[in-house]
Structure 1
Amino acid sequence: MDLPFPIDPERLHEELAAFQRKIVNGLATWRQPGPVSYGSTPREAVYREDKLTLWHFRGEEPPTARTPLLVCYALVNTPWMVDLQDDRSLVRNLLAQGEDVYLIDWGFPDAADRWLDLEDYILGYLDRCIDVVRGRHGKEPLNLLGICQGGTFSLCYTALHPEKVRNLITMVTPVDFHAGDSMLSHWARNIDIDAMVHSFGNIPAELMNHVFLTLKPWRLMQQKYVGMVDILDKPADVANFLRMEKWIFDSPDQAGEAFRRFTTDFFQANKLVKGQVMLDGRRVDLATLTKPILNIYAELDHLVPPASSLALRDATGSADYSELAFKGGHIGIYVSGRAQREVPPAIHDWLRVR
């Protein structure tokens, strides 16, 4: 019987033996890193409320920017992807550029937070964090950087409170939730979200992690662990791998009502780009956004396709609208070497002239 491809038995034996040696020798490497952590940049808590913490970061030099920059991350996962480690930190590099950086850490919701709604997050927590930052800087408008779902929150907030925001930056932010080829969007549009929230209450983090992993099952659940063998003799690379794994699986549950509302209004009904989102009786109309906007998107993003983010171009009413394309994916835009070189300087340069 002819095989579809030739097999060299001797070479196969050598490769299997080398693979086995790497596994055996790597056992010692696994014991070297010890516990891994993220959030490496010095910081202090300047405000706490319920599960939320507002952090203020300290750079090696005092900030030169006159306007503070507040980072609003998504509710899914913890925000420490922006400060994963010393050499992979959006926050650290923004500080090095002279920015004065704050970050909202939403915390881990529990049963007491089951009925938190989008108004609670956007018009409540986010608004109060913005007021705290502004209060520390003469009550002037601040610069707002919204990431992923946090960018969607930031768009809604700025549309309703333009007097508190000087410049708006959105990063890998969905605007048209039906644009582009997004498996996540297709799934979200075809589930009974009311039954899901009724059954679970808060949506378990384990379920959310499973959903994200199954978007790319081969790459995220098999290939990366096979490829891990190649770094077993490199303690620093093993520590980086473990740090990323810790961040992925150390995720918060999602407050049930806010999750239900975001899924039905944004993913299913696509109300944001249609100008139909209502928050506390007020309509969110992106056409009323006149603040300067920098829209950063990832060209290889499988969670937020470029078309979803680029819909902001025609939806906003800003006369000062800019775009920045990043040659990478949804996670690479925070942690890759290219991201460290390109994204923080681009943000700083854009803010500096405004």
Structure 2
Amino acid sequence: MRDSIPSNWRKSPSIGGPTARKAIWKKNKATLWYYPSAQKTYKEPLFLIYSLVNQPFILDLYPGASMIESFVQNGYDVYLLDFGIPGYEDSHITIDHYIVDYIQKGVQRTLRHAKADEITLIGYCLGGVFATLYAAIATESIKNLILVVTPIDFSELPSFNRWLTALRDENISFDHLFDAYGVLPAPLIEAGIRSITVPVYYTQYLALLQNSNNKEYVERWKRFNDWTKGHIPFVGQALKQFVNDYVRDNKLVNGEIKIKGKNVLLKNIDMNLLVVAAKNDELVPPSLSEPIMNLVSSNDKQFQLVDGGHTTMTAKKGALPNYLQNWLPERSTLIGEEV
């Protein structure tokens, strides 16, 4: 067991969250944050990868509504790779760079810092795609791979099949836009996300009005609203790769992706696998996530469909979310347990 968190560790800044953390590695704009458990119970640290579209503080949103808080309260040391906010000087960065230079190096740093032999890798949305790519080429030992609302198979896009057909027929292309901007500004990213989900929305404001006398609710609402509107710029070269190779050509499912010369084959993924999708997810419907189940070599693999939408993946009051309450402890090694 571990003593309580040192009092001289600062709390996260406003763009962070309430859980105490410490930066242990930096590269360019990226930071690897370490969140220690006061009562460490399990050997394998959790390595979290979030999307490039929003800031990752949604994972540590508010006391009592924080995924990271629930992890550390349940005995897990947590490491979060925050890619940061890119500038125009980063316009050369590709998906290959994110996988090898950031994620793989971050995992290596995590294993050294945690004095661990294995990790549990958790990817959210596009971060789940990156986690999948890395897991397929990793030389480091990954015990568990958890993919949350992660798009894998783009053979069909239920709400945007006309766009997909136009892309595949080469009737439209966004390459000139990606090249011209270099790094796409945040308002453009937000407009694109809104066009896919809900262009005009007001229900959350009605909810705020109904709960306006509840101070805790209002504070939590403000924080969630900051995250919702806090889209960040997206590197054009990486987005061009994603749109052309992953969405248009579906190369990940077809086994045609290479990361810095290494073949990315989903059959190379043989660790314990949990895939989580949300029933009402308009951005990443379950049909984009589930096909990976038939493409990996994992003997222990599970697909879970949960209620809610794309942004409902939070924990409450320090408890692990339902889809992890049994799955994760059963596949984690207790400290002192014989392997």
Question: 1:249 and 2:229 equivalent?
Answer: yes
From the superposition, tell whether residues 339 and 223 of structure 1 become closer, same or farther in structure 2 (CA, over 3 Å): farther
Q: Secondary structure at the match of 2:144?
A: strand
| Mean CA deviation greater in 185-194 or 109-118 | 185-194
Other-structure match for 1:42? 20
Kindly state the Cα deviation for residue 96 of structure 1 after the two structures are TM-superposed. Answer: 1.7
Kindly state the Cα deviation for residue 249 of structure 1 after the two structures are TM-superposed. Answer: 1.9
Deviations 1:198-243 (A, max 9, x none): 222211111111222233436x533333443222232222222211
Other-structure match for 1:283? 263
- Give 5+ residue unaligned stretches, structure 2: 1-12, 334-338
Kindly state the Cα deviation for residue 126 of structure 1 after the two structures are TM-superposed. Answer: 0.5
- CA distance in 2 between counterparts of 1:300 and 1:143 reads 27
Equivalent residue in structure 2 for 1:300, among 264, 280, 291 = 280
Kindly state the Cα deviation for residue 260 of structure 1 after the two structures are TM-superposed. Answer: 0.9
Kindly state the Cα deviation for residue 338 of structure 1 after the two structures are TM-superposed. Answer: 12
Q: Is the 8 A contact 1:72 1:103 kept in 2?
A: yes
Other-structure match for 1:321? 301
Kindly state the Cα deviation for residue 173 of structure 1 after the two structures are TM-superposed. Answer: 1.0
Higher helix proportion, which one? 1
Q: Secondary structure at the match of 1:301?
A: coil
The count of corresponding residues between Structure 1 and Structure 2 is 318
- CA distance in 1 between counterparts of 2:272 and 2:165 reads 31
Equivalent residue in structure 1 for 2:74, among 97, 108, 112 = 97
One-letter amino acid matched to 1:197: F
Other-structure match for 2:65? 88
Structure of larger gyration radius: 1
Question: 1:51 and 2:29 equivalent?
Answer: yes
Kindly state the Cα deviation for residue 182 of structure 1 after the two structures are TM-superposed. Answer: 4.2
Kindly state the Cα deviation for residue 286 of structure 1 after the two structures are TM-superposed. Answer: 0.3
From the superposition, tell whether residues 348 and 335 of structure 1 become closer, same or farther in structure 2 (CA, over 3 Å): closer
Kindly state the Cα deviation for residue 185 of structure 1 after the two structures are TM-superposed. Answer: 9.6
Kindly state the Cα deviation for residue 284 of structure 1 after the two structures are TM-superposed. Answer: 0.7
Percent identity of equivalent pairs: 27
* RMSD of aligned Cα (Å): 2.5
- Give 5+ residue unaligned stretches, structure 1: 1-34
Question: 1:209 and 2:190 equivalent?
Answer: yes
Kindly state the Cα deviation for residue 184 of structure 1 after the two structures are TM-superposed. Answer: 9.3
Q: Is the 8 A contact 1:88 1:340 kept in 2?
A: no
- CA distance in 2 between counterparts of 1:339 and 1:186 reads 41
- CA distance in 2 between counterparts of 1:236 and 1:245 reads 14
From the superposition, tell whether residues 152 and 217 of structure 1 become closer, same or farther in structure 2 (CA, over 3 Å): closer
1:129-140 equivalent positions in 2, closer than 5 A? 129-138=106-115, 140=117
From the superposition, tell whether residues 128 and 264 of structure 1 become closer, same or farther in structure 2 (CA, over 3 Å): same
Kindly state the Cα deviation for residue 129 of structure 1 after the two structures are TM-superposed. Answer: 0.3
Other-structure match for 1:3? none
Kindly state the Cα deviation for residue 347 of structure 1 after the two structures are TM-superposed. Answer: 4.6
Other-structure match for 2:147? 170
One-letter amino acid matched to 1:250: G
